[in-house]
Each structure stands twice: as C-alpha cells, then as structure tokens.
Amino acid sequence: MELKVATRSHAGHTVVTIVGEIDLYTAPRLQAEFTRLLGQSQTMLVVLDMSAVEFCDSTGMNVLLSALKRLRERGGTLEVAAPRPAVRKILQVTGLDSVFVVHETLPEKLMTSESQG
C-alpha cells in the first residue's frame, strides 16, 4: 500500500497527515518528510494526524521516535492525534503511549489554523 504524507504549517506548529501503512517499505518516505520538515523550518510542535493510518510496524515507530528525538533536541515536541485502534494498540503494547502525547482526535485549534496556513 502506498503511503501519503502531507504537511501544513501555521504559527509555529505543523500538522503532518499520514495516509496508508507505515512499514519497512514505506517508512523511508515518512523519514524523508521529517528530514525535509525539520531541516527547513523552526517548527516546535509537530502533530501527526494518524486517523488514516491502517498499520504501523516497528520500523514506523522508530521513524516517529527519531523525529521526536530530533524535535526535543531543539526544544520541540511531537504529538500523535487520532490513532486508529490498531496503531493505538501498538503504542500501548510498546509503552510509546507514555512517550508521545496522544490525542483522541486532531486538536480543534490545529484544524482551524490548518485551513489558514
């Protein structure tokens, strides 16, 4: 399955919308997007909209952890929004639900500003 990644930035935060499956084959696409995003902007808050992610394996989780580490090194953070049950279970089983801030839905303040960015 193809992985689609779209980013929208506004007022110091970026929403990254991910659609598809994050696995060994698609994780490099997500990693490249994080590298591009973190290299070209001073975004301090990145929120991942995972409402359309069907599956995420350990490779995908490692990409997310790497991005979180890079953001934290510069005083920022990475949050996960609207994970589907399969992804939520992976976060819980691995204990990553205590590493990432996990929102049930995309925070409304980000949805509003997203359309303005």
Mean pLDDT across 15-24: 96
User: Each residue of 24-44: pLDDT tens digit?
Assistant: 999 999 999 999 998 887 888
pLDDT at residue 1 greater than cutoff 80: no
User: Each residue of 100-110: pLDDT tens digit?
Assistant: 999 999 887 77
**Going by C-beta distance under 8 Å and a sequence separation of 6 or more, which residues neighbour residue 112?**
none
Please provide residue 22's backbone torsions phi and psi, each rounded to the nearest 5 degrees: -105, 110
Which residue has 């990693």 as its token pair? 31
pLDDT at residue 93 greater than cutoff 80: yes
The residue among 10 and 78 whose pLDDT is bigger is 78
Cβ-in-10-Å burial (0-12, 13-18, 19+) of 116 comes to exposed
